[in-house]
Amino acid sequence: MAISVKDRVAIITGASRGIGRAIAEVMAADGAKLVLGARGEKDLSALEQTLKERGADVISVSADVSCQSDMESMSRACQARFGRIDILCHNAGMFPTALVEDTTEAMWDHLLAVNLKSTFFAVRACLPAMKAAHYGRIVLTSSVAGLMSGFPTLSAYAATKAGQVGFMRSAAIEFGPSGITINAVLPGSILTDGLEGMGDEYVKAVGEGIPFGRVGKPEEVAHAVLFLASREAGYITGQTLVVDGGQRLPHTPAMRIFWPPKETS
Ligand code: NAP
């Protein structure tokens, strides 16, 4: 049997660009019905139009994930259009960089609201419909940052991403009796606007530190999300799935003396 989300109804936050857009494209191609969320209406409408032209049943809702009433409106819009919510992909997030000493309380509070409090808002807004149907698949886009690795200037970001996983592990136990799973993908370095903005030289250098020799593509994360969102993943909950091309596998820098092997002529 193929792993599929065909005919399932999915809300995707942060759907207008990057990983969220790839999740939307992969799920639409598989036959899911979609509610796309983000703040920027122009990008959202353009994606909605593109997916409709490909035959998808899709609506878009302009919503800020850090606003509880926006998440409730998004949930209501989904139920009004499709009658249920099978899948929530909570993917929206931001990753500003700052040293700890340069991080103000306002920056910290804003980042926690967008990346972490939003997780609670989005999940809570979808929960009643999923509980009523005794079915639900929730997939969070967390990160290797915070859970598996550290990175200077990303300490506040890493705290939000580790926080999402902490929330998920307890929620999984709460939601199990209601037939609802909640899992997280942990992407490594994925080529979206944020990483591209760091410049070609940086992207190339990051890629060279990854066993596959390149950074990841958004669709490579999207396929992992589709799996966790499928009916077939119904006995997996409270888990993390790392999608990083082996970037965070433990290795010693001294390995570089003999690996990769030098080409001999
Ligand atoms: P991206 O290209 O910057 O896209 C972010 C998406 O989130 C956009 O659709 C954006 O649309 C939306 N968004 C941002 N703030 C929002 C808000 N307050 N309310 C609603 N929507 C909001 O980012 P990405 O690289 O695809 O990252 C997506 C997720 O993957 C994030 O959670 C990020 O932490 C995680 N991640 C990314 C990487 C990576 O290397 N790219 C690695 C690990 C984890 P609007 O601006 O129009 O709202």
pLDDT digits (tens, 9 = 90+) for 87-107: 999 999 999 999 999 999 999
pLDDT of residue 252: 76
- Whether 1 shows a pLDDT value over 70: the answer reads no
Identify which of 61, 128, 116 has the alpha carbon closest to the alpha carbon of residue 92: 116
Both tokens of 143, joined, read 């990160």
pLDDT of residue 88: 99
Q: Strand, coil or helix: what is 84?
A: coil
Task: Ligand 1 pocket test: pick from 190, 196, 217 the residue with the most ligand atoms within 8 Å of its Cβ.
Answer: 190
Q: One of 135, 157, 202, 235 is an active-site residue; which one?
A: 157
Our answer to whether residue 157 is catalytic in this structure is: yes
pLDDT of residue 258: 81
Ligand 1 pocket, residue 11 CB under 6 Å: no
- pLDDT tens for 223-257 read 999 999 999 999 999 999 999 999 999 877 777 78
Question: Element (H or E) spanning 13, and its range?
Answer: strand 9-13
Question: Confidence band (pLDDT; 50, 70, 90) for 262?
Answer: confident
pLDDT of residue 116: 98
Ligand 1 pocket, residue 65 CB under 6 Å: yes
Atom of ligand 1 nearest to the CA of 115: 32
- pLDDT tens for 43-95 read 999 999 999 999 999 999 999 999 999 999 999 999 999 999 999 999 999 99
CA of residue 116 to ligand 1 center, whole Å: 13
CA of residue 229 to ligand 1 center, whole Å: 19
Q: Counting beta carbons within 10 angstroms of the beta carbon of residue 133, is it exposed (0 to 12), middle (13 to 18) or buried (19 or more)?
A: middle
Ligand 1 pocket, residue 20 CB under 6 Å: yes
Q: What are phi and psi of 259, to 5 degrees?
A: -140, 130
pLDDT of residue 251: 78
pLDDT of residue 265: 58
- Whether 261 shows a pLDDT value over 90: the answer reads no
Smallest CA separation from ligand 1 atom 41, residue: 190
CA of residue 41 to ligand 1 center, whole Å: 15
Atom of ligand 1 nearest to the CA of 13: 21
- In single-letter form, the type of residue at position 137 comes to R
- pLDDT tens for 141-180 read 999 998 999 989 999 999 999 999 999 999 999 999 999 9
Whether residue 260 has a cis bond before it, omega within 30° of 0: yes
pLDDT of residue 161: 98
pLDDT of residue 38: 98
pLDDT of residue 162: 98
CA of residue 7 to ligand 1 center, whole Å: 26
Question: Element (H or E) spanning 87, and its range?
Answer: strand 87-90
User: How many angstroms separate the CA atoms of 248 and 69, rounded?
Assistant: 37
Ligand 1 pocket, residue 95 CB under 6 Å: yes
User: How many angstroms separate the CA atoms of 88 and 104, rounded?
Assistant: 32
Maximum CA pair distance of the chain? 66
Q: What is the pTM of this model?
A: 0.97
Name which residue leads in pLDDT, 265 or 197: 197
Smallest CA separation from ligand 1 atom 39, residue: 190
- pLDDT tens for 215-224 read 999 999 999 9
User: How many angstroms separate the CA atoms of 21 and 14, rounded?
Assistant: 8
Question: Confidence band (pLDDT; 50, 70, 90) for 40?
Answer: very high
